[in-house]
Amino acid sequence: MQVFDEKHIRNIVLVGGAKSGKTTLAETMLFEAKVINRRGSVEQKNTVSDFHELEHERGISVYATPLHTEWRDYKINIIDTPGLDDFIGEIIAPLRVADTAVMLINAQHGVEVGSELVWQHVDRYRKPVIFAINQLDHPKADFEMTYNSIREHFGTNAVLMQYPLNAGEGFNAIIDLLKMVMYKYPADGGKPEKLPIPEHELQTANELHNILVEKAAENDESLMELYFEKGNLDEDELKKGLHIGMLHHELFPVMCISALKNMGSGRLMGFIDNVAPSANELKPEITEDGTEIQYSPTGPAVLFVYRTEHEANLGKLTYFKVLSGELRKGAQLKNSHTHAMETINQLYVMDGHNRNPVDVLKAGDIGATLKLKNTDTNDTLHALTGELKITPIDFPQPRMTVVIRANNKKDDERLGEVLKKIHEQDPTVEYEQSRELKQLLLHCQGELHLATTKWTLEKVYGMDVGFDKPKIPYRETITKAANATYRHKKQSGGAGQFGEVHMRIEPWYEGMPEPTGFNIRHKDVIELDWGGNLVFYNCIVGGVIDARFIPSVLKGIMHKMEHGPLTGSYVRDIRVMLYDGKMHDVDSNDISFQIAAQMAFKEAFHNAQPKLLEPIHELIVMAPTEVTGEVIKDLQQRRAIIMGMDSIGHNSRITARVPLANLHKYTTTLRSVSQGKASFTSTFVEYAPVPQNIQDEVIAEHKHLEEVELA
């Protein structure tokens, strides 16, 4: 395989909504470059990209798949990505290492919510972008509507490079505004005829060409001067302006294709190698300490790992981008995260599941290797003696949580090991053993994401698992002051147990005045791990409780705050005044005062008008305008407070605050009410009081469960 330098490598990522045709385009590009002899199809389950058994079962892309072509002395690395935001991790990671994003827009529907979500990450990384309006051969294709939706959603920097003739079932020609020619395709696609623009299209083409020239000239002063001088720019000057505009994320060419019929894909590839930037022209990668890593072919080797995959028969497959220098088979590199030395024994360029062995990869290239023991996603490998950590990929927070359990008890210990591997492969799958809820929690992006995780557990690792609704991490507090006294006395022969405490508890809030009527000896302000504070005052006088037992009292209070009196949830925002008590010279000990403090705190808590607090999440829902009413109606049924609503193009952005208790399986409901066209993000914002009727139900349910466990 030919070795390409950094100037002749193009890394593109295919992104866009579900059913926009990314996998079909990838297949067509491989066919155009003669990497494959015949094109497969998603329906026939024989494409190079969607090769996983799970993808065949689902009929959709689930994983990011790297491919490559060699096209006119250039190497184009292609990463095909899923279209559903449940698999957002498989979209963000490739975006990070790609040099240009090719965003496919379905000509039947225009910009959809899925495309907008991807755009947020494209825009954050300031990547060069090419819009490809696809499926122009479909009977319902509407090019004008689709182009207008691109400009509405992504701005007027989206400029036509091409427009179609006969969009719809008769689609067979594209007017190219850069070369000012018409490409006419045979009925079955492939190589087009290059023809003059028809007379009846010349005026439209010239007007659009002038708009393109103006946009290109805006990106460079010298080009602007040429434009004013000549009134036009030639093709090379136009390419230069487009190139600069793409580099600065200020110009987004719009192209026309039918990936299914292989119309326009070759021209798109030509534009990618001719105009799209290479890695060494983009802003350099930044380390955590702010150092820039230039794409230098002569510098020391630096790799950034963007993806990890565990394959049953192969072991760990590590995908990376070469950021500096060159990587040769046999190289020894240091992992700056684990500090382990790794040897690159095998080096590949990937085409789906096909591994093409190579001996060397240059700066800017993308490759893979096998069996790195101590390297995972987001790690940096380098040949330097010091430390060098590339700023990691920032993956989104999970939007759905379930309890996961092994149905076979013998798999209990193994389950954690397997979930660790799944997390390494997909960092948007997270898991934790919740000390608070006493449950093994699995966090993911949505119902479909959960289903594919279950499939992996069962089919790949042979584990039978089940999912349950998780408990809600309530908080308990009080709304008024109360006093309590408790004496713990136990005599069982020999030394007994004795401890008596008198305490007052009050609601605590920031800036409240110090308590009056007490002789305060000492004050402890404890910031609780679960939020809020405990303020503890030692007000003991006259030695009625020895100083050595005061920590025992505090320990007893803390124990009860970790296992709240109402529902067993954490207690927060309380201050306690320990003002009296008794002890025994022989029978008093640490455990006696712990128990006495627990029981006194519990009694005072019940008498202080206790209140249950629930976690509130802020939801931002993006939905097409026509389903906004249904989305809001569903939110209101979930006790949501609608905070605001904005219109963005054909979509609405709804902001609401919703109790976590009412968000279980929200992803499924939202997909149903919006026909799969809406999406959301969820962020914890605060704890708020639970309505009394719901509080009573939660407490009763907790009491019932306790009785069942004791039975």
Longest dimension (CA), the chain: 112
**CA 659/CA 161 separation, integer angstroms:** 48
pLDDT at 212: 95
> CA-CA distance, 262 to 388, in Å (whole number)?
44
Output the pLDDT for position 492: 72
For residue 657, give Cα distances in angstroms to 92, 188, 402, 684: 27, 53, 21, 9
Interstrand relation of 641-648 and 651-659 (parallel, antiparallel or unpaired)? antiparallel
pLDDT tens profile 469-492:
999 999 999 999 999 999 999 887
Is the predicted pLDDT of residue 650 greater than 90, yes or no?
no
559 vs 579: CA distance, rounded Å? 20
Identify the structural domains of the chain with CATH numbers, from first to last. Answer: 6-201+245-281 (3.40.50.300), 285-382 (2.40.30.10), 400-468 (3.30.70.870), 476-608 (3.30.230.10), 612-693 (3.30.70.240)
* Segments of 206-301 assigned E as strands: 252-256, 285-286, 292-293
Please tell me the predicted confidence (pLDDT) of residue 219: 86
Whether the per-residue pLDDT at 707 is higher than 90: the answer is: no
Most confident segment among 108-112, 187-191, 511-515: 511-515
State what percent of residues in the chain have pLDDT above 90.
80
Q: How far apart are the first and last CA of the chain?
A: 71
The DSSP line for 88-154 is THHHHHHHHH-SEEEEEEETTT-S-HHHHHHHHHHHHHT--EEEEEE-TTSTT--HHHHHHHHHHHH
User: What pLDDT shows up at residue 387?
Assistant: 82
Confidence of residue 493 (pLDDT cuts 50, 70, 90): low
Q: Please compute the mean of the pLDDT values over residues 111-115 and round it to a whole number.
A: 83
Q: Is the pLDDT of residue 31 over 80?
A: yes
pLDDT of the residue at 522: 95
Q: Give 569-585 pLDDT, tens digit per residue.
A: 999 999 999 999 999 98
Q: Which residues contact 117 (CB under 8 A, 6 or more apart)?
A: 85, 88, 622, 679
449 vs 425: CA distance, rounded Å: 13
Could you please report the per-residue DSSP string of 128-139? -EEEEEE-TTST
Contact present, 600 and 559 (Cβ < 8 Å): no
pLDDT 10s digits, 438-469: 999 999 999 999 999 999 999 999 999 999 99
Query: For all residues of the chain together, what is the average pLDDT?
Result: 93
pLDDT at 660: 96
What percent of the chain is modeled with pLDDT above 70?
99
Rounded distance between C-alpha atoms, residue 370 and residue 345, angstroms: 8
Q: Report helix, strand or coil for 77.
A: strand
β-pairing, 482-490 vs 158-160, is: unpaired
| Residue 711: per-residue pLDDT | 62
Residue 58 has pLDDT above 70, yes or no: yes
Compute CA 312 distance to the chain's CA centroid, rounded to the nearest angstrom.
26
- Residue 227's pLDDT is 82
CB 190 within 8 A of CB 687: no
Give the model's pLDDT for residue 28.
96
Model confidence at 360: pLDDT above 80: yes
Amino acid at 670: L
What would the pLDDT profile of 195-233 be if each residue is shown by its tens digit? 999 999 999 999 999 999 999 999 888 989 888 888 889
Q: pLDDT by residue (tens digit) across 77-91?
A: 999 999 988 999 999
Helices 447-455 and 666-673, axial angle in degrees (round to 10) = 120
Q: What is the pLDDT of residues 265-303, one digit of tens each?
A: 999 999 999 999 999 899 889 999 888 998 888 889 999
Q: Distance (Å, rounded) from C-alpha 255 to C-alpha 269?
A: 11
What distance lies between CA 542 and its chain's CA centroid? 60
**CA gap 149, 153 in Å, rounded:** 6
DSSP letter string, 444-489 = ESSHHHHHHHHHIIIIIT---EEEEPPPP--EEEESS-EEEEEEEE
pLDDT at site 495: 75
Q: What is the pLDDT of residues 298-347, one digit of tens each?
A: 889 999 999 999 887 788 999 999 999 999 999 999 999 999 999 999 99
pLDDT of residue 72 exceeding 90: no
